[in-house]
Structure 1
Amino acid sequence: MDAKAISLKEKEVKPVVDLLNQYLATYHIHYQKLRGCHWNIKGQNFFTLHVKFEELYTSAQLTIDEIAERVLTLGKPPHSRFADYIKESEIEEIDTIGMSDLDMVDALLSDMAKLIELERGLLEASDEAGDDGTNDMVNRFMQFKEKNTWMLRSFAGKK
């Protein structure tokens, strides 16, 4: 399939596809960080955060699949190697072993802020390309993160 098959111009959609692959790479690193936080959480907030981190990584896994399928819908291959994820990600890997619960929350909030920043860029690029499908998808993902940012900030006692 190519972009023409869904009434989009390939040249106009190329910046969207490139951003989607960067977004996909960043999401993979975020996903693995969520898994690490879920596995390594300790302390008084264990029960609350263990469940929350599982909710977030389950959502991230579904999001990753939708992003990759959107890249394919636009006629290009999605990144599928960890080397590409690490190279193109806008966030860094971390070692969650021994991290405090609130440090984990801070790390995830930082990731979400970067992902929201990428999403805002994707919304602009997809709008310019007339790519309403990508725009709708990314907007949904951003709204989920915005809500969870508020929740995690409230949990951590941040304004």
Structure 2
Amino acid sequence: MKTNILGLPVEKSELIIVELNVLLSNFQVYYQNLRGIHWNIRGKRFFDLHVKFEELYNDSQLKIDLIAERVLTLGGRPLHTFEDYIKYNQLVVGKNVSNDEKAIHLIVDSVSHLLKIERGILVKASQINDEGTNSMMSDFIGEQEKTIWMMQAWLDETL
């Protein structure tokens, strides 16, 4: 079995690269959704939510960079065009969302779907002992599960 410079099997690493690029594409759409709701949020909760949405999109921007750099570390090329992002996107695109509850539901639904993608990557990376990807996915998953919990608490809904 041929391995890369990291000691990981090339063929299986290439499959993880594809999945990471899918995650990257979905994160880019999530980021744009967050920017849109940050800009368009209205109502009595504006001040709190405007700040929270900025916090979330800044965090997403950091994660996007980490994903792209992981793709490069594994020997791939990160997707970087809107055409690619749209092609691989699986999230609902939030257009002109200004209602607070609709915005929070969009975030919960998006993060929930990102978690599914990340868990799939985690399984594949575990199978080849790709600890770098595993660690990143584990960190993302822990943070995003907390985000969902907080958003559900804000909505006063149970998981």
Q: 8 Å contact 1:29–1:89 — kept in the other structure? A: yes
2:57 aligns with 57
2:154 aligns with 155
Task: Tell me the SS of whatever aligns to 1:58.
Answer: helix
Cα distance in 2, alignment partners of residues 92 and 80 from structure 1: 20
Q: Which moved more, 1:3-12 or 1:59-68?
A: 3-12
2:109 aligns with 110
Cα distance in 1, alignment partners of residues 16 and 55 from structure 2: 28
Which amino acid is the alignment partner of residue 92 of structure 1? V
Cα distance in 2, alignment partners of residues 14 and 22 from structure 1: 13
1:9 aligns with 9
Question: CA offset at residue 94 of structure 1?
Answer: 2.1
The answer for unaligned runs of 5 or more in structure 1 is none
1:34 aligns with 34
Question: CA offset at residue 129 of structure 1?
Answer: 1.9
RCO comparison, higher one (Cα < 8 Å, 6+): 1
2:90 aligns with 90
Question: CA offset at residue 7 of structure 1?
Answer: 1.1
Which amino acid is the alignment partner of residue 157 of structure 2? K
Question: CA offset at residue 148 of structure 1?
Answer: 0.8
- How many residue pairs get aligned? The number is 156
Q: Which runs of at least 4 in structure 1 moved beyond 4 Å after TM superposition?
A: none
Which amino acid is the alignment partner of residue 152 of structure 2? R
Which amino acid is the alignment partner of residue 147 of structure 1? K
1:146 aligns with 145
Which amino acid is the alignment partner of residue 142 of structure 1? I
Which amino acid is the alignment partner of residue 115 of structure 1? L
CA RMSD, aligned part only? 1.0
Q: Deviations over 1:77-103 (max 9, x none)?
A: 000000000110111322124x31100
1:131 corresponds to 2:130: yes
Cα distance in 1, alignment partners of residues 140 and 11 from structure 2: 25
Which amino acid is the alignment partner of residue 76 of structure 2? K
The answer for unaligned runs of 5 or more in structure 2 is none
Q: 8 Å contact 1:70–1:134 — kept in the other structure? A: yes
* TM-score when normalising by structure 2: 0.95
* TM-score when normalising by structure 1: 0.95
Q: Deviations over 1:105-131 (max 9, x none)?
A: 001100000001111101101101211
Cα distance in 2, alignment partners of residues 12 and 24 from structure 1: 18
Q: 8 Å contact 1:96–1:104 — kept in the other structure? A: no
Q: Deviations over 1:48-100 (max 9, x none)?
A: 11111011000000000000000000001000000000110111322124x31
